[in-house]
């Protein structure tokens, strides 16, 4: 596990983008897993800048996304499908047929979970890179605290804490979906490399617990401790608890 210190959100975004860009340059046909939410927006802006400068191309890449809300939401601006279109895909040369996001509006959602799991299983050695954020309760993707680690793509009931965290993206709290479909822990842990990004003091306590506490499904992100290649890029505020308790762990 490598923990990379950044002074602020902007530096975190630049350093995280540099890591992803270097992977794409070295392996143009990389298969990369993307995340949504406020934290990766800066990272995606930096990747777009590098594409516009001609430094990287996404033309040969394939992408998968961690999760999507459940219900008739694909046409809503707040869906993760539209998030990815607006914040990355429409601004780069990735081929639409090479992007895959769970379809939360599928008529048979269980069949969609199985399709997504099978699509991930068809990648011989797992995703080349998976980008992750971390929820205030330690969720990764929408894998919420539980009594076990759910392995494959599945439907999840969002916790109240997670629903509260989605408020900035909705003009009406009552419109926030209460269920989602998410990639399971197995596909995340099968990725060759993981990039966990975190920003803000609201993530400081859970980040320290996840990276230095016991491995437990009550804090899903804690399983990342045993991954073969985890890089954490976080700003000073998010790292404040780790700086205090484990200063030697930070690069």
Which residues on adjacent β-strands are paired with residue 167? none
CA distance 115 to 134: 25
Would you tell me how many other CB atoms lie within 10 Å of the CB of residue 3? Answer: 19
Among residues 138, 220, 136, 209, the alpha carbon closest in space to that of 186 is found at 220
C-alpha pair distances (Å), 223 with each of 5, 60, 76, 164, 188: 21, 31, 33, 24, 10
Structure tokens at 114: 């199985």
Q: 93 and 28 in contact (C-beta within 8 Å)?
A: no
Active site residues: 67, 137, 139, 144
Which of 135, 139, 116 has its CA nearest to residue 33? 116
- Integer Cα distance of 181 and 143 in angstroms: 9
Backbone angles phi, psi at 18, to 5 degrees: -65, -40
Tell me if 177 sits within 8 A of 67, measured CB to CB. no
């Amino acid at each position: 596990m490598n923990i990379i210190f950044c002074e602020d959100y902007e530096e975190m975004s630049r350093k995280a983008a540099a890591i992803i860009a270097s992977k794409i340059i070295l392996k143009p046909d990389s298969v990369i897993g993307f995340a949504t939410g406020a934290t990766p927006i800066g990272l995606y802006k930096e990747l777009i800048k590098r594409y516009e400068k001609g430094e990287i191309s996404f033309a040969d890449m394939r992408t998968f996304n961690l999760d999507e809300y459940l219900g008739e939401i694909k046409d809503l601006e707040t869906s993760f499908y539209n998030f990815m279109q607006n914040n990355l895909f429409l601004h780069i040369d990735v081929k639409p047929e090479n992007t895959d996001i769970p379809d939360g509006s599928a008529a048979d959602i269980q069949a969609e979970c199985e399709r997504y799991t099978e699509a991930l299983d068809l990648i011989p050695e797992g995703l080349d890179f998976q980008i992750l954020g971390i929820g205030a309760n330690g969720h990764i993707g929408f894998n919420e605290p539980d009594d076990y680690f759910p392995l494959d793509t599945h439907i999840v009931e969002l916790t109240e804490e997670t629903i509260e965290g989605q408020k900035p993206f909705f003009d009406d709290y009552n419109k926030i979906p209460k269920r989602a479909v998410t990639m399971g822990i197995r596909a995340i842990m099968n990725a060759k490399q993981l990039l966990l990004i975190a920003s803000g003091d609201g993530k400081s306590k859970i980040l320290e617990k996840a990276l230095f506490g016991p491995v437990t499904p009550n804090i899903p992100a804690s399983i990342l401790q045993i991954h073969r290649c985890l890089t954490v890029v976080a700003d000073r505020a998010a790292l404040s608890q780790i700086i205090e308790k484990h200063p030697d762990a930070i690069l």
